[in-house]
Amino acid sequence: MIQAEKVRIVDEDKKQIGILSLAEALSLAKERDLDLVEVAPQAVPPVCRIMDYGKYLYELHKKAHEAKKHQKQIQIKEIKFRPKISIHDYNFKIRHVQRFLQEGNKVKITVMLRGREKAKPELAHQFLDRVFEEIKEFGHQDGDIRSQHWAVSALLSPVKSGGKDAKTQITQGGKKEVQSHREEENRSQ
């Protein structure tokens, strides 16, 4: 596969051997029972390394896997509404949307239309405006509102918070809040 006549050789210990002809380099690799791999084809002359190619591929795969492991996975959660939803169900779903946004996930809000509601998609747009108003401190609209004949949907992205310690600040505040409510209950009894 190597096209050059002369190549710069690096051995398995990453020590430079020098510039050799391709035939000499191949025979040297064969003597050591290893492979000759071109690592820098754009160099003049191209750089080739004597190594175990299978082991090299395994190490590359391992490095890619480690890099992927440290990336934050952002999930898209979907919450479906109807324009004629009850107050309790609406509040329950809004709390879920807020929690998902606080966790750093994106949320897709879908307002489903049925029957005669399909003739009035502006109801769904008004509903989305109401949702945007309720969650404005947790997230914001990401992109345009998409309309199909049976539904209207929008994507919400979380508002950037204070970094790593934001979750601990929220949970600590939550504990203080619970303690203050318990103290008020104890005083009233």
Q: Give the number of residues written for the chain.
A: 189
Q: Please give the full DSSP string across 105-125, using - where no structure is assigned.
A: -EEEEEEE--GGGGG-THHHH
Which amino acid belongs to residue 160? Answer: K
Pairing of strands 146-147, 106-112: unpaired
**Residue-wise pLDDT tens digits, 55-106:** 888 988 998 888 887 777 778 889 999 988 999 999 999 999 999 998 888 9
Q: How confident is the model at residue 12 (pLDDT cuts 50, 70, 90)?
A: confident
pLDDT in tens, 112-141: 998 888 888 888 889 999 999 998 899 888
Nearby residues of 106 by Cβ (< 8 Å), 6 or more positions away: 74, 75, 76, 77, 142, 155, 156, 157, 158
> Residues near 37 by Cβ (< 8 Å), separated by ≥ 6?
48, 49, 50, 51, 53, 56
Token pair listed for 173: 């505040």
Do 1-53 and 76-158 have matching folds? no
Per-residue confidence (pLDDT) for residue 116, from 0 to 100: 87
CA distance 186 to 179: 11
> What CATH number matches the domain at 76-158, 3.40.50.2300, 3.30.110.10, 3.40.50.1100, 3.30.420.40?
3.30.110.10
Q: Whole-model pTM above 0.75?
A: no
Angle at 103 between CA 97 and CA 104, to 5 degrees: 95
Domain segments of the chain as ranges: 1-53, 76-158
The enclosing H or E element of 57 equals: helix 53-69
Please provide the CATH number assigned to the domain covering 1-53: 3.10.20.80
